[in-house]
Amino acid sequence: MPSQQTDLKENPLDARDAFDGEGLVPAKSANAITSRLRHAIETGVFADGDQLPPERQLAVALGTARSTIRKALDQLEQKGLVVRRVGSGTFVNFSGPLQSTAGDVADLISPLQLIETRLAVEPYMTKLAAIHATQKDLDGIESCLEQLAAAAADQDRFTHWDSEFHLHLARCSRNPLIMHIYQEINDVRAQAQWERMKRVILSAEKIRAYNDQHRAIFQALCNRDVAGAVDQITRHLETARQDLLGAEDK
């Protein structure tokens, strides 16, 4: 009969490598485990709605007792980061930091200033994504690409999935502050004042061109081509900047 250790070796993602990038380093105390799990949740290793590995697997991966894991999960539940369902397991309850100022910011900046901000943030964000993205992350991005392709000339649908695509890149950075910043950027993009620019810029031809660029970014991520990913996102944002400049003249 296989041991718990063997089970983990055969199913290395069952405990998300305790947890994604940190390696199988023992964490004996409940507080240390709580801290590590919280970091994994806040950086997207375990996304909102994900089921956490069973207590047994967490205990083996972290080299501690199940009772200690249980205490750590109690602490996470008290913080509202997980919900525990009898007979089903423990599930992540975290959709990101609360946003409160995006509407005020949107009133102060122009679409061009927004693109300038994205050019300052997204290339390095995408560099981190190329380093840290898991197969699950890549599958999620590919699903976004499918939705973007299906949008065709539907400007609203394209805008929604374009925002999701870039938010996926932010999650893949595994940096909570970058993710927070990008959620602010996406909230600004959703404000009503951007509606006119969307209507002017997003022709069916332009949507196809943007989707080609999205696909090139994704391919660079799949290839772990860090420099290529940075180059592709920079080209993509520069195209958007030029399109905005053209739209402002209309």
pLDDT (tens digit, 9 = 90+) per residue, 152-186? 889 999 999 999 999 999 999 999 999 989 988 88
The predicted pLDDT at position 38 comes to 86
Is the CB of residue 203 less than 8 Å from the CB of residue 211? Answer: no
Tell me how far apart the alpha carbons of residues 152 and 211 are, in angstroms, rounded to a whole number. 10
Q: Which of 105, 106, 171, 116 is nearest to 138 (CA)?
A: 171
- The answer for residues whose C-beta is within 8 angstroms of residue 56's C-beta and 6 or more apart is 4, 66
- The answer for residues whose C-beta is within 8 angstroms of residue 180's C-beta and 6 or more apart is 96, 97
The CATH number of domain 102-248, selected from 1.20.120.530, 3.40.50.300, 3.40.30.10, 3.40.1000.10: 1.20.120.530
Q: What is the mean pLDDT of residues 132-139?
A: 95
Tell me how far apart the alpha carbons of residues 89 and 152 are, in angstroms, rounded to a whole number. 40
Res 4 pLDDT > 70: no
For the chain, which residues make up each domain, given as ranges?
Answer: 4-92, 102-248
- What is the signed CA dihedral for 74, 79, 82, 88, rounded to 10 degrees? 40
Tell me how far apart the alpha carbons of residues 206 and 217 are, in angstroms, rounded to a whole number. 17
The predicted pLDDT at position 63 comes to 85
Level-2 CATH architecture, domain 4-92? Orthogonal Bundle (1.10)
Global model pTM greater than 0.75: no
The predicted pLDDT at position 104 comes to 56
The predicted pLDDT at position 6 comes to 35
Res 233 pLDDT > 60: yes
Query: What DSSP string describes 43-100?
Result: TTSS-TTPBPPPHHHHHHHHTS-HHHHHHHHHHHHHTTSEEEETTTEEEE--------
Mean pLDDT of the chain: 83
Amino acid, res. 206: K
Q: Is 1 helix (H, G, I), strand (E, B) or coil?
A: coil
Cα→Cα distances 238→151, 231, 242, Å: 22, 10, 6
The predicted-structure confidence for 69-121, as pLDDT tens digits, reads as follows 999 999 999 888 999 988 889 999 987 655 445 555 666 677 888 899 999 99
| β strands within the chain, DSSP E | 82-85, 89-92
